[in-house]
């Protein structure tokens, strides 16, 4: 009987998990908007609180000032980076046919040197088919995300109301939850918010240091549009494990178009900057955060990419750290509340 009950509970838990995954997949755009709004709220909360204090408690003014600061930074970034980077990417795309012909010749030579594949399954044909399939999937995902791009316009609106009505939302949640559950949940949410803010700020610091170092290095190597390529690599560096590989492929490919010597110099520069960031910057910026195993981080990136595309890849590691901090704080608080009560029962002579 006990075995049947255990199997039934396990089946119910698996069914609940499957239902949760299905709902998350169906509502992925809604979840993306909520996640972006919550992340921006956690990042801008200190600015909004400071302005609200200066304006004698006018939280709407603090929320507007925080969003205005973010908008100014985005406009500055667009003016400095996107134009030159777009021109350089256009130059690389214009040279893509020549690179494709060169790659085809090299693949044909490789196949001639080794045993040819049977039938029509040539090495060139297989590589081209795989490349076309990858491009088709990327374009399909981009069109699917673009069809719902209007939903992203709700992010600043939700962020404004999160910043403006944070005390009201907290009071409403306190009234809705049971009395004994509110305090542990409040402490866990505070720990998760701190982890999310510290993680986002740490990633911004890592991106800025990477940007500056690469900008100086690429400028010294006389790589065109050093500012734009360093910014692209800096954004990629915020994605653990997979981001540096993307930066190495994109920036390295563009630099090899300037010559082999320049290309290898840029590859060495990328590896050196990555080493400095891992050894010095990351431990200082993320020192108080919960360390997650590499398997957990990579799996979170894969899930985030599958659900939300590039934005999910960027936010996967901070959200995974936030969820882990929330769970750890909730478990720690519940254990602290239970242990003294258990000890008091033992000292009072009562059975636990």
Alpha carbon distance 342, 344 (integer Å) = 5
Alpha carbon distance 146, 124 (integer Å) = 32
Q: What is the pLDDT of residues 98-112, one digit of tens each?
A: 767 766 776 677 666
Pair 221, 265: CB distance under 8 Å: yes
Residue 349 backbone class (left: φ over 0; alpha: ψ -120 to 50; beta: rest): left
Ranges 67-71, 241-245, 290-294, 301-305: which has the least confidence: 290-294
Q: How far is CA 157 from the centre of its chain?
A: 21
196 contact partners, CB below 8 Å, separation of at least 6: 38, 39, 42, 318, 319, 321, 322
Q: What is the pLDDT of residues 232-250, one digit of tens each?
A: 888 887 777 777 888 888 7
The CA distances from residue 55 to 38, 41, 71, 294, in Å, are: 24, 19, 21, 45
Alpha carbon distance 47, 69 (integer Å) = 9
Alpha carbon distance 92, 311 (integer Å) = 24
Helix, coil or strand: residue 286: coil
- 64 — pLDDT class (breaks 50, 70, 90): very high
Q: What pLDDT sits at residue 344?
A: 42
- Structural domain boundaries of the chain? 180-352
Q: What pLDDT sits at residue 122?
A: 61
Sign of the torsion formed by the C-alpha atoms of 227, 233, 236 and 237: negative
pLDDT at 217 exceeding the cut of 80 = yes
- Read off the tokens for 296: 């957990």
Pair 25, 144: CB distance under 8 Å: no
């Amino acid at each position: 009987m006990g075995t049947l009950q255990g199997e039934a509970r396990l089946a119910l838990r698996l069914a609940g998990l499957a239902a949760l995954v299905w709902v998350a997949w169906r509502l992925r755009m809604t979840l993306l908007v909520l996640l972006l709004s919550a992340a921006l709220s956690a990042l801008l909360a200190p600015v909004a609180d400071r302005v609200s204090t200066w304006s004698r408690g006018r939280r709407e003014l603090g929320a507007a000032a925080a969003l205005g600061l973010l908008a100014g930074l985005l406009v500055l970034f667009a003016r400095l980076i996107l134009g030159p980077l777009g021109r350089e990417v256009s130059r690389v795309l214009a040279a893509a046919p020549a690179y494709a012909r060169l790659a085809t010749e090299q693949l044909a030579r490789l196949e001639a040197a080794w045993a040819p594949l049977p039938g029509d399954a040539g090495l060139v044909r297989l590589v081209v088919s795989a490349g076309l399939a990858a491009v088709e999937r990327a374009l399909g995902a981009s069109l699917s995300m673009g069809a719902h791009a209007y939903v992203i316009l709700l992010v600043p609106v939700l962020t404004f109301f999160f910043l403006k009505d944070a005390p009201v939302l907290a009071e409403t949640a306190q009234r809705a939850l049971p009395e004994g559950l509110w305090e542990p949940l409040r402490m866990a949410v505070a720990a998760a918010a701190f982890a999310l803010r510290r993680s986002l700020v740490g990633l911004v610091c890592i991106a800025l240091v990477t940007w500056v170092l690469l900008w100086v290095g690429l400028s010294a190597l006389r790589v065109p549009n050093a500012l734009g390529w360093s910014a692209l690599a800096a954004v990629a560096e915020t994605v653990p494990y997979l981001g540096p590989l993307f930066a190495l492929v994109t920036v390295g490919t563009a630099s090899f178009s300037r010559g082999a010597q320049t290309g290898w110099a840029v590859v060495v520069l990328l590896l050196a900057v990555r080493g400095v960031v891992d050894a010095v910057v990351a431990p200082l910026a993320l020192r108080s955060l919960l360390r997650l195993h590499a398997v957990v981080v990579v799996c979170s990136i894969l899930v985030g990419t599958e659900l939300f595309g590039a934005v999910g890849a960027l936010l996967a590691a901070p959200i995974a750290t936030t969820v882990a901090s929330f769970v750890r704080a909730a478990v720690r608080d519940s254990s602290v509340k239970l242990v003294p009560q258990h000890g008091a029962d033992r000292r009072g002579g009562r059975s636990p």
